[in-house]
Amino acid sequence: MYGLLPGLLIFVLLTAFVISLIAISLLVDAAKAKGFHRNDAGTLWFVGIFASPIVLGLYTASLPDRGAPTAPTQEDPRDELPTV
């Protein structure tokens, strides 16, 4: 029984590490899509690996969206009312 347990533990840890690398990659892509760190993603990888993907996710979520078009102007609400 003890012969199987260390191998299973190593498998679980390697799987968790691979999943965290995939999550970091997705979060780096999200930060690039928001218009940040387009040329230098090394800082994001450093934060994701040494802090955690959760910290990187919070950082990426807090970034404003530079790539979004400007908000449309507000229309006059009287234009939506039917004529009487």
User: For the segment 47-84, what is each residue's pLDDT rounded down to a tens digit?
Assistant: 999 998 999 999 999 988 876 666 566 666 666 766 67
Contact 28/53 with Cβ under 8 angstroms? no
pTM of the model: 0.71
Residue 7 has pLDDT above 70, yes or no: yes
What ranges make up the beta strands (E) of 34-84? none
Q: Is the pLDDT of residue 1 over 60?
A: no
Per-residue pLDDT at 21: 94
Query: How far is residue 23's CA from residue 18's CA, in Å, rounded to a whole number?
Result: 9
Amino acid letter, 36? F
Q: What does the pLDDT read at residue 36?
A: 85
